[in-house]
Amino acid sequence: MKIKTGSEYMSSLQATNPVIYYKGEKIEDVTVHPATAPHVRAAAMTYALASQDEYHDLATATSHLTGREISRFTHVHQNVEDLIKKVKLLRVLGQKTGTCFQRCVGFDGINATYATVYEIDKKHGTNYLERFKKWLIRIQDENLMVVGAMTDPKGDRSKSPADQPDPDQYVHVVERRDDGIVIRGAKVHMTGAVNSHEILVMPTAAMNEASKDYAVICSLPIDAPGVTMIFGRQANDSRRDLQENLDVGKPSFGVVGGEAVLVFEDVFVPRENVYMDGETDFSGLIVHRFAAHHRANYGACKTGLMDVLTGAVTYLAQIQGTAKGSHVRDKVTEMIHLSETLYSSSIACSAEGVPTPSGAYMVDTMLANVCKQNVTRFHFEVARLAVDLAGGFIATLPSEHDLRNEDVGHLVKKYFSGVEGIPVEDRMKIGRLIEAMTGGTAMVESMHGAGSPQAQRIMIFREGKLNEKIKLAKALAGIPSRKEKEVYPQLISREK
């Protein structure tokens, strides 16, 4: 692998020249700008773990394309063991960073694309997979970070892509040339976009023939001409931008993943980097596969974050002298219970994984959706319990400036102290960490990342095998079997 360490990753970003705006100004270097540097450091951890003996087996894999050692974040899953190792790696990274480390979207996009373009080729006689393999080998050998670009703005959501008053609300092909295509539109909520090397564009929904210009998969460099990024704001970002380290809560790493709007203004993509162009019959399948892979992740990375939050509130209870209270221990026990229950969902959908026709392995899609549905409840409950146990001071805590002030600093130290012998700075730091991890941006991402809760409920209902369950109930009740119209159509998964 060309990029092997976190520092090499940061240096590689400085060799790119993307167009990025934040709060109306252009960012020249994401590795040092206070708005983006914490997110760069979080992503760098994915590189750093691979060089540590303890995590090397989790963080690396053997490429089925070249036989060479690669980052697991560029690997195509070859068996159930790969799926489970991914889950274990993501939990460790959540524990190490306490935030999003940003490489999962590209990772899942690679796997969904590989499996889907194989089937496009089989049906339509295209050669997309060979093109994709050539690109992927370069990604693997250089160990590049890929942003998976799937979510479109969508405009008027009651209308299909082709019926939008503004056609750019979904990324689409505006020109086809002998040597490639030209695309226009935008992708939103792009985690890690500003500190990636490459973009993998994918469709965001199932489409009909009228929307064939929107059924496109392609890859391009992050600094391709015509690509502009607008970096989003996050909770407490003014503290981060001013580098008020104690008040940030997590001075080393970002609050979530560093999301951006990714805009394509007549961007040219060479033909060899186009992997779907108008095959609308497969646009829904890639979304289905990507969503399942990504929803499976949340039971791992969010469990890592919940581990940190549980540790933080337990330590705060020690500082405040409440650790031995039966109600405290009971609530901490519940936090652990919810975390491990969520983690078991992620392990289960991986353990039940099956091969696609391409040979790439796919998680159990029903269990993956159950996993993400649990995230939208369990993570919030763990956060609620953490805030309950921490107390109201995390919402009214004076700033670091007051702590350092000659006139009132001694008062802050006096009246925010806890158990004797523990510095007041420790109580303030751990309180700010809890505030950061239970605040608006972090929890919104848990709710809507990888799709809203309703998206999972739709998939759970579709894959619930209700007709089969009706037959089970009728058999036990002694109701004769007879031909009846099936009321609940099943989602037919190509993996089963």
HEC sequence for 192-234: CHHHCCEEEECCCCCCCHHHHHHCEEEEEECCCCCEEEEECCC
Among 379, 377, 376, 398, which Cα is nearest to 387's?
379
pLDDT of residue 491: 55
One of 36, 99, 191, 356 is an active-site residue; which one?
191
Q: Where do the domains of the chain lie?
A: 287-462
pLDDT of residue 495: 59
Among 38, 446, 99, 445, which Cα is nearest to 305's?
99
pLDDT of residue 254: 77
Residue 301 falls in the annotated catalytic set: yes
Q: How far apart are CA 288 and CA 282, in angstroms?
A: 10
Of the chain, the end-to-end C-alpha distance in Å amounts to 35
Among 179, 146, 150, 184, which Cα is nearest to 167's?
184
Residue numbering of the annotated binding site for FAD: 191
Classified as helix, coil or strand, 175 is strand
User: Is the Cα torsion angle 345, 60, 6, 264 positive or negative in sign?
Assistant: negative
Q: How far apart are CA 458 and CA 223, in angstroms?
A: 37
- Rg of the chain over all Cα atoms, to the nearest angstrom: 24
In sequence order, which residues have a C-beta less than 8 Å from that of residue 461 and are 6 or more positions away?
Answer: none
Residue 371 falls in the annotated catalytic set: no
Q: Within its chain, how far is the Cα of 398 from the centroid?
A: 33
Residue numbering of the annotated binding site: 191
pLDDT of residue 60: 98
Q: Looking at the chain, how many residues does it have? A: 496
Domain 287-462 has CATH 1.20.140.10: yes
Residue 445 falls in the annotated catalytic set: yes
Q: How far apart are CA 150 and CA 107, in angstroms?
A: 13
Q: How far apart are CA 213 and CA 235, in angstroms?
A: 37
Q: How far apart are CA 380 and CA 305, in angstroms?
A: 12
Classified as helix, coil or strand, 33 is coil
One of 60, 100, 119, 376 is an active-site residue; which one?
100
Residue 191 falls in the annotated catalytic set: yes
Classified as helix, coil or strand, 398 is coil
Residue 100 falls in the annotated catalytic set: yes
DSSP-assigned letter for residue 76: P
Task: Give me the average pLDDT of each 10-residue run along the chain (496 residues).
Answer: 94 97 97 96 96 96 98 98 98 96 97 98 98 98 98 95 96 98 97 97 95 98 98 88 86 86 98 98 97 96 97 97 96 98 98 98 97 96 96 94 97 96 95 91 85 91 90 93 73 50
186 bridge partner residues: 263
One of 128, 275, 298, 343 is an active-site residue; which one?
298
Q: How far apart are CA 459 and CA 288, in angstroms?
A: 9
Among 157, 286, 153, 154, which Cα is nearest to 218's?
286
Among 142, 128, 57, 56, which Cα is nearest to 274's?
128
221 bridge partner residues: 198
DSSP-assigned letter for residue 176: E
pLDDT of residue 256: 81
CB atoms within 10 A of CB 56: 12
Residue 25 falls in the annotated catalytic set: no
In sequence order, which residues have a C-beta less than 8 Å from that of residue 32 and are 6 or more positions away?
Answer: none
Residue 197 falls in the annotated catalytic set: no
DSSP per-residue letters across 311-351: HHHHHHHHHHT-TT-HHHHHHHHHHHHHHHHHHHHHHHHHH
